[in-house]
Amino acid sequence: MKKLFTLLMIISVIVSCRKDDTSFDGNNIQEMYSDFMVLSTFKVDKDSLDFANGEKAVFSAQFNKPVSWKISIKGQTSKAEKIITGQTKFIDATNATWNGSTTVFPMFKAENCIAQLTIDGVADTFQVQTKVKSLKVNQGLVIADFENGFSPSWTKFVQTGANMDFNIKNDTLCPQGAKYLRMAGTVNWDYLIGLIDYPATAYGTTKTLNLSANPNDVYFNCLIYGESASNPSIVLFQFKEDENADGSINGNSDDQYDYQINVNWIGWKLVTIKYADLVTLVNGQPSTPKGNSQHNPDKIGKISMLHLADPSQGFAACKIDYIMFTSAPLEP
Amino acid sequence: MKKHLFKYMLMLLSLMSYHSMAQQKRTVDFIGGARSVLSNNNIVVSDSIPDTTTIKRNSGGYALIDLGVDIKPNKHTEILGMFRIRNAYGGFWGAGVTFDVRQLFLKGVISDKVRYQVGDLNLKQTPFTLFNHHADRLDSLPSVFKLQNDILNYEKFYRDNTWRQQGVNVDFGFEFAKGIKELNFTGYLTRLNATDFSSIPERLMGGTRIQLIQSKNLALSYNGFSVFDVKGTVLDSNTYTNNVNSIGLKYLYELNKNTIVFNGEAGRSNVQYAEDFDKSYLADYFINASATFNWLKKNLSFTAGYLNVGPDFRSIGAQSKEIDYSSLTGYYNRYTNDQIIRPISVMDLIVGDSLYATSVSTKLNIANPIYNNAMPYGLATFNRLGAYLKLDYHNEKGIQLNAQHFYLNEIRGQGTLKLKQFQVTKLTAQFEMDKLFHFQKRMNIQIGLMNEMTNRNSDVAVEKVDLKTMRYQLGAEYELFKKIDVLAGGMFLNCKGNEFIPQRNVYTTVSFFEEANYNMTQKIIAVGARCRFDEKIHLTALYQVSEYNDKLIASPKYSINQFALIYNMTF
């Protein structure tokens, strides 16, 4: 019983040793429900933005309490939009810096922009103006942006179905530059509607693309426009490696990695994948590569872009632009 | 590829069978299970504008077999490999069929002294170091729900309170003639994530347990747990570390013919990102002490305990929630014309395996106050101070009773200096009526109740919190004909009040609060018939209706009706 008493005493001493906390976690709830006040007005640090030379816009404002805020920067000509959000008492370089990138396509042009600040639970909105003097430069290897039409080095094949369209367009829907490619048609006997082959030789090399050998440092990106949610379009990219650099791609001894995109959304969307994450597909199912089973982006000899659709589903259409490789996920 | 894999598997199995027969000795066992699920679901949405967008009917199913080969090449070594072949109904050869390796481990004993296991491991330490608390799981489920929940447990490798990991585990011990009885060591090292050599570092998890058993009355233990990034596996040197060290004590005091068991564990944790030390460093301690009086003659045990877990105590091994409420449900994950995300219901907690995690994660999954506001991370929930009482009774006549009550306070305020109080009461009971009343046929009744209250009083009206949740359930099973049972069960949940949901940054500290208001009822009612071919094989037909009614209409009311045919066997 004495042991038991000693044990209970030790526990009691331990139990009573925590000090009372005199602070609290998170934002002050009382302050959260107080009347909203702007302590420092909404501003942008530059009237004109030279994104091509690495300039960035920094927005600032300060409030009397933490709020959920949203800055929407809209291009007055392009209608491009960049959205930045946060939940803080202040807006500054740590949470509201714009490098010229886009959230809602098309991409920004050299144009006047209006940045609008809205705050949850506050009826007033706040605006500032700025101007894009030069566009953000995205470093990487552009496979196709269709600005100069079809390259003679590419190979195009289009089925002879109904309502076929495999042409470069120049209209207000264009997300980057002035042109994009539309791929559309009804082919009721085959999945394939049309394809374009982009050989490595079209990009100033003799056999393979000039990319990093590390597949974790290579990202494939493109912008795809879905025309309806029920659209049966499938865009399949096939990355065909020429592992022995003999100038020809052998389907039985060279690796091929694939990226299949079911275009079941409406509007432009950025699609990005790391080269190391690509798999080999056979009829849409993962399979074993036929070559050394190693992702070698520096050995890509040809990229094939196929527009596919289930023949029983009827008309399929999508648009595509700005197909490029980068060393990090593209932030257009 | 799949055809080849299947062919190789068959060849391998044939060879093993031959080998086993040739030696006239059982060195190879086949273990595993098979399951087929066929279901038909229908959702009914009660929105102000009729929902014409959601596809209302959904049917499908799958068949799978888990085939494991348990090889014992000698008396010191065991190798287990288990393949899974799964075929979705409506799929065909080459599509809808998947082949996976489900389990793979090798274990054995070196020199009759050191036990080891490499490959898949089911690991747990203490409730504050490495432990899967199943904090939001529903206790004592009626059989009609339990058999669906068992499938989820099997799929996610939820056994007791373990987490499934991959790595190596070693344990060994010494016995002494006098002074102390035993000294046991256990150590493990597993891989939480593999590096991509770019942005994701190699992250390892390791643990040690040293247990000193002085006698049958006294045992002391040391537990060490650590998760750390391996430097140099990515260019970024902002490596993550979480360490927990604790000491445990178990003392058995004999009082006449009864016993009192004192259990205690106390320890300290720290967590940090190397480059963001000022923003990320958190350190705190915990104490959990309890005394259990075992009235052996009456099959009754009574526990009184004290819990003190600091607001900055972080142990990802014990605070990893198995449920991720930000995940989408497996089916009908969007509804209404606006295709909003369907809120998670009690039904999803029972069967929604897409919500459940299979491994420890450094991300602190958010709590859902509807299902668990007081102890979302089990006993390891940080920022809790208080006491608990437990009562457990069972007898040979088939009565099991369990009651628990927790009374807890916050240690540090959340958005205010005022502290919240939490009270949780749980009651579960199971009556085996056939044993109790000497019926010839099997008959069980299960009852469960959980009441949770959260309060924060303040002179400032906006700081007040008042949230009440009541969940109750009732289930029965009756053997109508020999080996054919009818099953029925219902579960009901009411939740009303308000709470402030913390939003946490990457360092798990609170960055913002969002107020949430609740006034809802949920119910799930199921009936079924089960044919037990034997204890390991059953075929069950089920029909269940679940309803989610948010009276604040934050999410429109919906109900899901489901018919399922489940065939399950293990061998």
What's the CATH code of the domain at A123?
A: 2.60.40.2550
* Rounded Cα gap, residues B32 and B66, in angstroms: 5
Confidence of residue B453 (pLDDT cuts 50, 70, 90): very high
Out of A30, A87, A283, closest to residue B512 by CB: A87
Confidence of residue B378 (pLDDT cuts 50, 70, 90): very high
Confidence of residue B20 (pLDDT cuts 50, 70, 90): very low
Residue A249 lies in a domain: yes
Residue B59 lies in a domain: no
**B333, pLDDT greater than 70:** yes
pLDDT of residue A2: 65
**Least Cα separation, residue A205 to chain B (angstroms):** 27
Most confident among A12-16, B6-10, B299-303 (mean pLDDT): B299-303
Whether A122 and A58 share a structural domain: yes
Residues of B in contact with A66 (CB under 8 A): 512
Q: What is the mean pLDDT of residues B31-44?
A: 93
* Rounded Cα gap, residues A232 and A289, in angstroms: 27
How many angstroms separate the Cα of B241 from the Cα of each of A6, A67, B201? 37, 32, 12
- Is residue A273 within 8 angstroms of chain B, CB to CB? no
* Rounded Cα gap, residues B315 and B322, in angstroms: 14
Provide the pairing of β-strand A38-44 with B114-123. unpaired
Residue A146 lies in a domain: yes
Shortest CA distance from A280: residue in chain B: B1
Residue-wise pLDDT tens digits, B278-320: 889 999 999 999 999 999 989 999 999 999 999 999 999 999 9
pLDDT of residue B13: 47
Quick one: residue B5, left, alpha or beta (phi over 0 = left, psi -120 to 50 = alpha)?
alpha
Residues of B in contact with A15 (CB under 8 A): 287, 289, 306, 308
pLDDT of residue A16: 59
Residue A13 lies in a domain: no
Shortest CA distance from A328: residue in chain B: B198
Helix or strand (DSSP H, E) at A3: helix A2-15
| Whether B198 and A87 lie within 8 Å, measured CB to CB | no
Both tokens of residue B486?
């009818």
- Residue (of A255, A247, A209, A236) closest to A304 by Cα position: A236
Q: What is the mean pLDDT of residues A176-187?
A: 93
- Is residue A247 within 8 angstroms of chain B, CB to CB? no
pLDDT of residue B160: 87
* Rounded Cα gap, residues A233 and A186, in angstroms: 11
- Any alpha helices (H) in B56-215, and if so which ranges? 143-155
Asked which of A34-48, A296-310, B84-98 is least confident by mean pLDDT, the reply is: B84-98
Residue-wise pLDDT tens digits, B537-564: 999 999 999 999 999 877 899 999 999 9
Residue A282 lies in a domain: yes
**A1, pLDDT greater than 50:** yes
Both tokens of residue B311?
């607001």
Whether A118 and A181 share a structural domain: no
More confident residue, A252 or B248: B248
Task: Tell me the residue range of the domain where A86 lies.
Answer: 30-134
pLDDT of residue B223: 97
Out of B1, B198, B413, closest to residue A24 by CB: B413
- Is residue B293 within 8 angstroms of chain A, CB to CB? no
Number of domains forming the structure of chain B: 1
| Whether A7 and B251 lie within 8 Å, measured CB to CB | yes
Task: Tell me the residue range of the domain where B312 lies.
Answer: 31-54+69-355+366-570
Residue-wise pLDDT tens digits, A103-146: 999 999 999 999 999 998 898 999 999 999 999 999 999 999 99
Residue B62 lies in a domain: no
**B17, pLDDT greater than 50:** no
Residue-wise pLDDT tens digits, B57-71: 888 889 999 999 999
Residue B511 lies in a domain: yes
- Residue (of B443, B445, B444, B494) closest to B472 by Cα position: B494
Whether A148 and A129 share a structural domain: no
Residue B255 lies in a domain: yes
pLDDT of residue A8: 61
Residue B553 lies in a domain: yes
Shortest CA distance from B413: residue in chain A: A24
**B94, pLDDT greater than 70:** no
pLDDT of residue A5: 62
- Is residue B462 within 8 angstroms of chain A, CB to CB? yes
Percent of chain A whose pLDDT exceeds 70: 93
Confidence of residue A180 (pLDDT cuts 50, 70, 90): very high
Residues of A in contact with B311 (CB under 8 A): 21, 25
- Taking the CB of residue A286, how many other CB atoms lie within 10 A of it? 12
pLDDT of residue B16: 46
**Least Cα separation, residue B312 to chain A (angstroms):** 10
More confident residue, B160 or B223: B223
pLDDT of residue B356: 92
| Whether B502 and A25 lie within 8 Å, measured CB to CB | yes
Mean of pLDDT over chain B: 90
pLDDT of residue A310: 87
Whether A317 and A234 share a structural domain: yes
pLDDT of residue A32: 82
- Name every residue whose Cβ is closer than 8 Å to that of residue B86 and which is 6 or more positions away in sequence: B62, B63, B64, B97, B98, B100
Residue-wise pLDDT tens digits, A280-325: 888 877 788 888 889 999 999 999 999 999 888 889 999 999 999 9
Percent of chain A whose pLDDT exceeds 90: 65
Out of A23, A66, A287, closest to residue B412 by CB: A23
Whether A190 and A303 share a structural domain: yes
Residue-wise pLDDT tens digits, B415-450: 999 999 999 999 999 999 998 888 888 899 999 999
Residue-wise pLDDT tens digits, A166-175: 999 999 889 9
Domain-ending residue, one of A109, A134, A159 = A134
How many angstroms separate the Cα of B108 from the Cα of each of B26, B67, B185? 17, 22, 16
Q: What is the CATH number of the domain that holds B37?
A: 2.40.170
**B6, pLDDT greater than 60:** no
Residue B80 lies in a domain: yes
Residue A15 lies in a domain: no
Residue B335 lies in a domain: yes
**B361, pLDDT greater than 70:** yes
Shortest CA distance from A68: residue in chain B: B512
pLDDT of residue B236: 72
How many angstroms separate the Cα of A286 from the Cα of each of A278, A280, A283, B399? 10, 6, 8, 53
Q: What is the mean pLDDT of residues B202-222?
A: 95
**B387, pLDDT greater than 60:** yes
pLDDT of residue B49: 82
3-state SS, one letter per residue, for B36-72: EEEEEEEEEEECCCCCCCCCCEEEEEEEEEEEEEEEE
- Taking the CB of residue A150, how many other CB atoms lie within 10 A of it? 15
pLDDT of residue A15: 57
**Least Cα separation, residue A279 to chain B (angstroms):** 14
| Whether A29 and B462 lie within 8 Å, measured CB to CB | yes
- Is residue B460 within 8 angstroms of chain A, CB to CB? yes
**B83, pLDDT greater than 90:** yes
Q: What is the CATH number of the domain that holds A248?
A: 2.60.120.430
pLDDT of residue B27: 85
Q: What is the mean pLDDT of residues A71-98?
A: 93
Residue A221 lies in a domain: yes
* Rounded Cα gap, residues B86 and B2, in angstroms: 12
Buried b (16+ CB within 10 A) or exposed e, B252-272: bbeeeeebebbbbbbbebbbb
Number of domains forming the structure of chain A: 2
Shortest CA distance from A34: residue in chain B: B462
Residue B237 lies in a domain: yes
Whether A227 and A315 share a structural domain: yes
Please confirm whether the linkage preceding B556 is cis (ω < 30° from 0): no
Shortest CA distance from A277: residue in chain B: B196
Confidence of residue B179 (pLDDT cuts 50, 70, 90): confident
| Whether A32 and B462 lie within 8 Å, measured CB to CB | yes
Percent of chain B whose pLDDT exceeds 70: 94
Whether A180 and A71 share a structural domain: no
B contact residues 73-112, partner A, Cβ 8 Å cutoff: 94-95
Residue A248 lies in a domain: yes
Residue A8 lies in a domain: no
Percent of chain B whose pLDDT exceeds 90: 68
| Whether B411 and A18 lie within 8 Å, measured CB to CB | yes
In the beta sheet, which residues pair with residue A271?
A222
Confidence of residue B4 (pLDDT cuts 50, 70, 90): low
- Is residue A26 within 8 angstroms of chain B, CB to CB? yes
Domain-ending residue, one of A104, A134, A164 = A134
More confident residue, B119 or B279: B119
Mean of pLDDT over chain A: 90
